[in-house]
Amino acid sequence: MDRNQVIGFVLLALLLIGYISYNQYEQKIYETQKRTDSIARAKLQPPKKDSVIAPQSQAVAAVADSATEALRKSQPPAYNGTAQSVTLENKKLSIQFNTKGAFPTAASLKDYKTYGQKPLYLFNGAGNYLNAILPFDNGKATESLYFTPVSRNEADGGKTIDFVGDLGGGKKVDIIYTLAADDYMMHCNIVLTGLPAQSLKLSWQTLALHTEKDMANERLNTQVYYRFKNDDNDYFTIRNNEEKIVHNDATTNWIGFRKQYFSTVLMADEGFSKMDIKALAKPEDSMVVARTFAEMILPLKPGSNEQSAAMKWYIGPNDYNTLKSYKMGLDDMVPLGYGIMSFVKYINKFALIPIFYFLASHISNYAVIIMLMTIFIRLILSFFTYKSYLSSAKMRVLKPELDELRAKIGDDQQKMSVEQMKLYRTAGVNPLGGCLPMLFQLPILLSMYYMFPSFIEFRQKSFLWADDLSTYDSIFNFHFTIPFYGDHISLFTLLMTASSLFLAVYNRNMTPQDPNNPMMKYMPYVFPVILMGVFNKMAAALTFYYTFSNILSITQQFVIQKYFIDEKAIHAKMQENRTKPPVQSKWQAKLEEMQKLQTDRSKVQPRSNKK
């Protein structure tokens, strides 16, 4: 072959290869398009029914539906139903129930609003329930049953809803709620028919919602209370991220979940024979103050074919008079003094609270009530206050003589104490006379410390720049937190601190200072500054009371010093007392005896060391 033939054959081969490749490519495209068209036609056209398989499938489905219907009909009516919402309300409360479980899921108080002026719900939504374990079907829980609600009106204007759970075969459970026309107390009766049992196990959970201005303070005031059959009571405070668990086998009359100003309390006529409580607050949850859970055993009253138990459910404010009116000890949930300061609650209950309610019945402005209470208390203690200022005046008159003794005796403190007591005795001065008013005023100050932040009457009552006397007033917010102070400035707290410092300066100028104890002269100034951080988050009613009390103290002290105390007459009286035989009290005699013994021991001690 020559060169031209070779080139010709190569070209023919390339053409043949190109033709074959192109033909295969076109065939592939054709097959792909064919499959696509087939799938599209299959989607558009209904599938052909096989004459044998289709009737068999329909028969199987019909049998399955019949079996399901037969199973449903064989079950008790309470096992089948639809969950619905039912409302029971009166002038004060609106309570929503779920027909599945027959328990309250939400409760709102009509006479109150949240701090943001929204409808106030104590609890609302999933997570709130009251469940009972029935002696049926291996311990069936009421929360899984469907109830039929039957409503009726009572003769006294109240309303009742009877949730009927038909368990079949003459067995049923009724959960009956009755709400009076104008009350926060709801009655709850559980009646078992054809279900013999001596008791029921109850589980109760509440998610308490945020309603106040300061969530942190609201959580600090969230507690669980419980009262025993012997009228003793106990409580614990719910802490952030700390699950509190309490177990008690004693019979408990009631269990209460208390927020700062509102509570839910469950009580049984026959008491709960056992009790387990769990409580937890999570800071990351911005709407739920705390979750509280309780399990208890509810005794049943025996009957021929029925067993029943009567309970009451309080859902309302922590109003002292309202809680006290039920005569069940519910008023103990208003903290008027506890711990080592529990004695002040008796001052509140038998003195300050009656005065408060008397004034509140005639005056609507609660700031004016605070001022009138302060003035009234000052008038009662005015005799002791006068005695205190008189004692301070006597000490001032004796100061020159004390300075002479101190210069004469020198650094011998024990001898100085003995001579100082002799001088007081001959002049007729009681060195503790200035302490008596403080001893009488301190319990009052502590009583107000507990009472004002706890009384719901101050809630959402405004005065001057404070829009709510039950919480702190704020004239400026930092939008960040200052350690030991807070994220805002309370003007009432600043005024309280300023008036306390002014009172300390005034008292320092009016009272002789002990040069041997230089630290004491700074304490009156340091203490108010420390308290400024503590009281910055306190209720405005309390800080206003302390501010007004300080102003009243300064005014009272000025008037007494100016118009009722004559230091020249006091000095003359002291000189007269020195001419009379000294009358020594038992306390002074005991004090001098102790000082003398201490002096004698100090004289003997060096000799024993030499030996």
User: Mapping DSSP to helix (H, G, I), strand (E, B) and coil, where does residue 106 land?
Assistant: strand
Rounded mean pLDDT, 401-416: 78
pLDDT score recorded for residue 588:
60
Q: Which two tokens stand for residue 599?
A: 């002096």
Per-residue pLDDT for 346 more than 90? yes
How many Å apart are CA 328 and CA 314, to the nearest integer?
Answer: 11
Q: Which residue has the tokens 């129930």?
A: 97
Residue of 450, 224, 236 lying closest to 356 (CA atoms): 450
- Provide the CB-side half-sphere exposure for 542 (13 A, CA): 24
Q: Are 241 and 261 within 8 A, CB to CB?
A: no
Q: For 336-367, give the secondary structure using H, E and C.
A: CCCHHHCCHHHHHHHHHHHHHHHHHCCCCCHH
pLDDT score recorded for residue 149:
95
Report H helices in 511-585.
523-535, 540-563, 567-578
Identify which has the larger pLDDT, 210 or 9.
210
pLDDT score recorded for residue 441:
79
- Provide the CB-side half-sphere exposure for 421 (13 A, CA): 18
Rounded mean pLDDT, 237-265: 90
E strand residue ranges, 419-568 = 476-482, 486-489
Per-residue pLDDT for 460 more than 80? yes
Residue type, 12: L
Per-residue pLDDT for 354 more than 50? yes
| Mean pLDDT estimate for the chain | 83
What CA–CA distances, in Å, run from 397 to 193, 400, 573, 578?
87, 7, 11, 14
pLDDT score recorded for residue 85:
95
How many Å apart are CA 259 and CA 257, to the nearest integer?
Answer: 7
pLDDT score recorded for residue 608:
47
Q: Which of 202-206, 383-387, 468-472, 528-532 has the weakest average pLDDT? A: 383-387
Per-residue pLDDT for 559 more than 90? no
Element (H or E) spanning 275, and its range? strand 275-280
pLDDT score recorded for residue 420:
76
Q: How confident is the model at residue 516 (pLDDT cuts 50, 70, 90)?
A: low
Strand order from edge to edge, sheet including 85-89:
85-89, 93-98, 103-113, 119-124
Residue 160: beta bridge partners?
Answer: 152, 178
Rounded mean pLDDT, 508-516: 61
Q: Which of 230-244, 324-338, 518-532 has the weakest average pLDDT? A: 518-532
pLDDT score recorded for residue 212:
95
pLDDT score recorded for residue 603:
60
Per-residue pLDDT for 99 more than 80? yes
Q: Are 136 and 171 within 8 A, CB to CB?
A: yes
DSSP 99: T
Residue of 145, 142, 147 lying closest to 130 (CA atoms): 142
Residue type, 47: P
How many Å apart are CA 99 and CA 429, to the nearest integer?
Answer: 78
pLDDT score recorded for residue 248:
85
Q: Are 474 and 487 within 8 A, CB to CB?
A: no
For a pLDDT cut of 70, what percent of the chain falls above it?
79
Per-residue pLDDT for 59 more than 70? no
- Provide the CB-side half-sphere exposure for 226 (13 A, CA): 26
Q: Which two tokens stand for residue 86?
A: 């039912």
pLDDT score recorded for residue 381:
83
Identify which has the larger pLDDT, 180 or 436.
180
pLDDT score recorded for residue 213:
93
pLDDT score recorded for residue 610:
44
Q: What is the largest CA-CA distance in the chain?
A: 165
Q: Which two tokens stand for residue 421?
A: 């007591």
Residue 227: beta bridge partners?
Answer: 233, 254
pLDDT score recorded for residue 393:
80
Q: How many residues comprise the chain?
A: 611
Per-residue pLDDT for 587 more than 60? no
Per-residue pLDDT for 426 more than 80? no
Query: pLDDT, tens digit, for every residue of 137-191?
Result: 999 999 999 999 999 999 889 999 999 999 998 999 999 999 999 999 999 999 9
Q: Are 94 and 108 within 8 A, CB to CB?
A: yes
Q: How confident is the model at residue 34 (pLDDT cuts 50, 70, 90)?
A: very low
Q: How confident is the model at residue 424 (pLDDT cuts 50, 70, 90)?
A: confident
How many Å apart are CA 65 and CA 59, to the nearest integer?
Answer: 10
Per-residue pLDDT for 307 more than 50? yes
Q: Which two tokens stand for residue 603?
A: 């004289």
Q: Which two tokens stand for residue 472?
A: 């702190």
User: CB count, 10 Å around CB of 381?
Assistant: 17
Per-residue pLDDT for 435 more than 80? no
Query: pLDDT, tens digit, for every residue of 211-221?
Result: 999 998 999 89
Cα angle 313, 316, 317 (rounded to 5 degrees) comes to 145
Rounded mean pLDDT, 396-401: 80
Residue range 77-334, CATH number: 2.70.98.90
Residue of 294, 298, 326 lying closest to 310 (CA atoms): 298
Q: Are 388 and 433 within 8 A, CB to CB?
A: yes
Per-residue pLDDT for 601 more than 90? no
Residue of 91, 105, 123, 444 lying closest to 264 (CA atoms): 123
pLDDT score recorded for residue 123:
95
How many Å apart are CA 125 and CA 467, to the nearest integer?
Answer: 30
Q: Got the DSSP string for 122-169?
A: EEESTT-EEEEEESSTTTEEGGGSB-EEEEEE-TTS-EEEEEEEEEET
Per-residue pLDDT for 437 more than 70? no
pLDDT score recorded for residue 520:
61
How many Å apart are CA 330 and CA 222, to the nearest integer?
Answer: 15
For a pLDDT cut of 90, what percent of the chain falls above it?
49
Domain boundaries, the chain: 77-334, 351-586
Question: Please, what's the b/e burial string for 215-232 (b: 16 or more CB within 10 A of its CB; e: otherwise)?
Answer: bebbbbbbbbbbbbeeee
Identify which has the larger pLDDT, 146 or 420.
146
Q: Which two tokens stand for residue 323?
A: 């809680």
How many Å apart are CA 425 and CA 589, to the nearest integer?
Answer: 10
Residue 250, burial from CB neighbour count under 10 angstroms (0-12, 13-18, 19+): middle
Rounded mean pLDDT, 559-584: 75
Per-residue pLDDT for 448 more than 80? yes
